[in-house]
């Protein structure tokens, strides 16, 4: 008899662990444990989504004839970690070996490989996770063959390899990338479609009560809990996105609007990352919508690029660069995370709205994460580990393999620039162009050195000024340095003084 351990983000029926075991004699273990639920203070909705989806998955497996030993969360249990659970199972069942599909976190993967075989006294067999288009080994080979690891080149290779949006050996529409057409602001029209209501069942209700009691003190509101927790509900979310939102996805991909957290985004990342949907299933559905004339190419290309390109790319970077990657801090940042990242209370309207979405829904879309809360952390010089822990805690889709490269690499530029050849730093003008936030703000986006000037404006120039050594040799930054140098000396001084004053009182903005 063999044992299979299935983790909270491995809820896929074709998981290699299941494909390599025999349901007539082998056993599956799954567990909700304190160590995983508390290594950062996960948003209550993230824990509820995962625990309920795990319980539904265990039922699905039992219905399919598997024997599943499921350990529900119990704060008084002696089993605090996945290793405790596995040790108990080995004692009880004396299996020949333990099978696990390669996990999404360096910390756990190291433990499976190095600690567990000795602690358990049986072989631990690790299987490649075939739910991704590109394995870590394939990515390593791709990276070894070139000097520049630009995502765009990786993406083109993935298009060729997968055949998505290809006309023979050419990209559909004769272009690889339609980003130029994807930068519209949203002014209230077209209307944002209402998502389908999700029916709750006894499992959901039990988990929601448990999470309220045990994790209600973590930052984030448990209600309104709108996530699906069953495969059929995740599939319905996919169908809704393809039918109602995909056509507008490209045009408004970068837009932001006060009180509108989803716009035309898919909100599929939590399902993709825990295994209720597969990347192939989602890309197939998007391509089909284009081929049947139901969605335009700029939207479908933009969407598929996020999954086939960015999602696969960040995973490749993670496994290529860990463990040193997590300690990178090339800009030498030292500042703590300001208080409002945890309590949401700030006069900056853009930040306040992004925090509200995040706390209410365990979600914010990419531009809110990148250009508002991320941009602010970059230009104020927050310590990478502090901002990484925040992103890992507050989003329902957050797992180390995808959160870390996005935060440390794309947002904080702490890795020297794998994920962007120049930092995604911006003044308030960018936020003003892409949203209606500034119209409702205490601060004035049009000025930079007055007492009520938008903080992003002076902080942006302070960032540019203090990192001249790191960036002035970067071709893509030369225009910015020329603009800074053209600024009159007294305006420059006033702007930098305003930034200093803000940096000394960051918690008060
Ligand atoms: P859509 O806009 O509808 O995009 C479709 C899909 O593309 C997403 O579901 C996601 O699977 C994929 N995708 C898009 N952008 C990225 C990206 N940059 N990296 C990886 N996949 C991408 N995404 C996570 O899944 N987990 C995280 O922990 C996470 N942390 C992030 C932290 C920061 C600081 C930033 C800037 C981005 C982060 N992202 C993360 C990427 C991205 O913001 C989310 O994937 C996206 O907002 C999820 O919402 P959606 O499903 O509506 O995405
Ligand atoms: C994120 C998370 C949480 C909150 N809880 C559990 C859990 O109780 N049991 C489990 O198996 N996994 C959980 N996870 C996911 C893991 O912490 C981890 O991030 C992934 O399994 C890494 O691939
Ligand atoms: Fe944000 Fe500045 Fe606009 Fe206020 S004025 S919403 S702080 S960008």
- Ligand 2 contact via 301 beta carbon (within 6 Å): no
The separation between the first and the last C-alpha atoms of the chain, rounded to the nearest angstrom, is: 60
Closest-CA residue, ligand 2 atom 13, reads: 8
Local confidence band at 339 (pLDDT 50, 70, 90 cut-offs): very high
Q: What residues contact residue 269 under an 8 Å CB cut-off, 6+ apart?
A: 396, 397
Instruction: Report whether the peptide linkage leading into residue 297 is cis, meaning its omega lies within 30 degrees of zero.
Output: no
Name the residue with the closest Cα to ligand 3, atom 3: 438
pLDDT bin (cut points 50, 70, 90) of residue 485 is very high
Determine the residue of 265, 390, 397 to mutate for testing ligand 1's pocket, defined as the one with the most ligand atoms within 8 A of the Cβ atom: 397
In this prediction, residue 137 has a pLDDT band, given cuts at 50, 70 and 90, of very high
Cα of 399 from ligand 3 centre, angstroms: 30
C-alpha to C-alpha distance for 15 and 6, rounded to whole angstroms:
9
Distance of CA 280 to the CA centre of its chain: 18
Confidence of residue 148 (pLDDT cuts 50, 70, 90): confident
Mutate to test the pocket of ligand 3, among 371, 379, 455, 502 (most ligand atoms within 8 A of CB): 455
pLDDT, average across residues 330-355: 97
Judge if the beta carbon of residue 36 lies within 6 A of ligand 2.
Answer: yes
* Residue of 88, 103, 80 lying closest to 33 (CA atoms): 80
Q: What is the pLDDT of residue 506?
A: 96
**Closest-approaching ligand to the CA atom of 30:** 2
Q: What is the largest CA-CA distance in the chain?
A: 79
Which residues pair with residue 3 across a beta bridge?
27, 98
Name the CATH superfamily, with its identifier, for domain 340-508: DNA Cyclobutane Dipyrimidine Photolyase, subunit A, domain 3 (1.10.579.10)
Q: Helix, strand or coil for residue 70?
A: strand
Ligand 1 atom at minimum distance from 366 CA: 43
Superfamily of domain 3-127: HUPs (3.40.50.620)
CATH 1.25.40.80 spans which residues of the chain?
Answer: 136-200+228-321
Residue 258 in this model has a pLDDT that exceeds 80 = yes
| Residues framing ligand 3 (Cβ under 6 A) | 348-350, 428, 431-432, 437-438, 441, 443, 445, 454-456
Residue 110 has pLDDT above 90, yes or no: yes
Distance CA 311, CA 285 (A): 17
Mean predicted confidence (pLDDT) in 300-317: 96
**pLDDT number for residue 120:** 96
Yes or no: is domain 136-200+228-321 CATH 1.25.40.80?
yes
Cα 72 to Cα 40: distance, rounded to the nearest angstrom: 20
Q: What is the pLDDT of residues 447-473, one digit of tens each?
A: 999 999 999 999 999 999 999 998 988
pLDDT, position 24 = 96
pLDDT per residue as tens digits for the range 429-441: 999 999 999 999 9
Q: Is 210's C-beta closer than 6 angstroms to any atom of ligand 2?
A: no
Can you give the pLDDT at residue 393?
97
The pLDDT, as a whole number, for residue 135 is 95
Q: Any idea which of 198-207, 374-383, 421-430 has the lowest mean pLDDT? A: 421-430
Q: Which of 366, 391, 394 to mutate to test the pocket of ligand 1 (most atoms within 8 A of CB)?
A: 366
- What's the mean pLDDT in 339-351? 97
Query: Which two structure tokens, joined as six digits, stand for 69?
Result: 């030993």
Residues with CB under 6 A from ligand 1: 265-269, 272-273, 303, 306-307, 310-311, 314, 365-366, 369-370, 374, 391, 395, 397-398, 402-403, 406-407, 410-411
Residue 280's Cβ-count burial label (10 Å; 0-12, 13-18, 19+) is middle
Ligand 2 nearest-atom number relative to CA 104: 23
Does pLDDT of 180 surpass 80? no
Cα–Cα distance, 148 to 137 (Å, whole number): 18
CA distance 309 to 171: 14
- Residues 71, 85 contacting (CB under 8 angstroms): yes
Check residue 147 and give its pLDDT. Answer: 81
**pLDDT score recorded for residue 290:** 96
Is residue 481 over pLDDT 80? yes
What residues does CATH 3.40.50.620 cover in the chain? 3-127
pLDDT at 163: 96
Residue of 428, 435, 436, 444 with the most ligand 3 atoms within 8 Å of its CB, for mutation: 428
Report pLDDT for 419. Answer: 78
Average confidence score pLDDT of the chain: 95
Higher per-residue confidence, 416 vs 331: 331
Which tens digit of pLDDT belongs to each residue from 282-296? 999 999 999 999 999
Domain with CATH 1.10.579.10 in the chain: 340-508
Chain segment 59-98, per-residue pLDDT in tens: 999 999 999 999 999 999 999 999 999 999 999 999 999 9
């Amino acid at each position: 008899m063999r044992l299979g351990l299935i983790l909270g983000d491995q809820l896929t029926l074709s998981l290699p662990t299941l494909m390599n075991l025999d349901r007539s004699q082998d056993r599956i273990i799954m567990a909700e444990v304190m160590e995983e639920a508390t290594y950062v203070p996960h948003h209550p909705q993230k824990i509820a989504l995962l625990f309920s989806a795990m319980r539904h998955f265990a039922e699905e497996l039992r219905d399919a004839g598997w024997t599943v030993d499921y350990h529900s969360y119990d704060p008084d249990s002696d089993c605090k970690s996945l290793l405790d659970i596995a040790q108990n199972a080995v004692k009880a069942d004396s299996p020949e070996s333990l099978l696990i599909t390669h996990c999404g976190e360096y910390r756990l993967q190291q433990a499976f490989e190095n600690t567990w075989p000795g602690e358990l006294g049986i072989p631990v067999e690790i299987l490649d996770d075939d739910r991704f288009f590109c394995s870590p080994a394939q990515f390593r080979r791709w990276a070894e063959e070139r000097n520049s690891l630009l995502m765009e080149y990786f993406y083109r290779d993935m298009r060729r390899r997968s055949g998505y949006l290809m006309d023979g050996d050419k990209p559909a529409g004769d272009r690889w990338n339609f980003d130029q057409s994807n930068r519209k602001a949203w002014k209230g029209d077209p209307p944002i479609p209402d998502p389908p209501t999700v029916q709750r069942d006894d499992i959901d209700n039990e988990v929601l009560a448990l999470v309220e009691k045990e994790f209600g003190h973590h930052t984030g509101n448990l209600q309104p809990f709108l996530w699906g927790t069953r495969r059929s509900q995740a599939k319905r979310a996919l169908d809704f996105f393809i039918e109602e939102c995909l056509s507008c996805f490209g045009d408004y991909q970068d837009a932001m609007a006060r009180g509108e957290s989803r716009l035309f985004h898919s909100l599929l990342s939590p399902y993709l990352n825990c295994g209720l949907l597969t990347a192939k299933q989602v890309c197939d559905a998007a391509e089909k919508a284009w081929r049947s004339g139901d969605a335009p190419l700029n939207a479908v290309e933009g969407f598929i690029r996020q999954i086939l390109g960015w999602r696969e790319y960040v995973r490749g970077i993670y496994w290529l660069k860990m463990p040193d990657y997590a300690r990178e801090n090339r800009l030498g940042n030292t500042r703590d995370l300001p208080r409002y990242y945890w309590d949401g209370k700030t006069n900056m309207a853009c930040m306040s709205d992004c925090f509200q979405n995040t706390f209410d829904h365990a979600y914010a879309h990419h531009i809110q994460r990148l250009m508002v809360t991320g941009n602010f952390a970059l230009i104020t010089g927050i310590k990478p580990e502090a901002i990484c822990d925040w992103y890992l805690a507050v989003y329902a889709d957050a797992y180390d393999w995808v959160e870390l490269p996005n935060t440390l690499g794309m947002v904080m530029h702490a890795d020297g620039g794998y994920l962007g050849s120049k930092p995604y730093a911006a003044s308030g003008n960018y936020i003003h162009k892409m949203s209606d936030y500034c119209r409702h703000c205490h601060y004035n986006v049009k000025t930079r050195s007055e007492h009520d000037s938008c903080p992003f404006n002076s902080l942006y120039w302070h960032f540019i000024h203090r990192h001249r050594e790191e960036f002035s040799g970067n071709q893509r930054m030369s225009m910015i340095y020329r603009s800074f140098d053209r600024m009159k000396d007294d305006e420059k001084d006033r702007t930098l003084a305003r930034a200093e004053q803000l940096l000394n009182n960051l918690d008060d903005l």
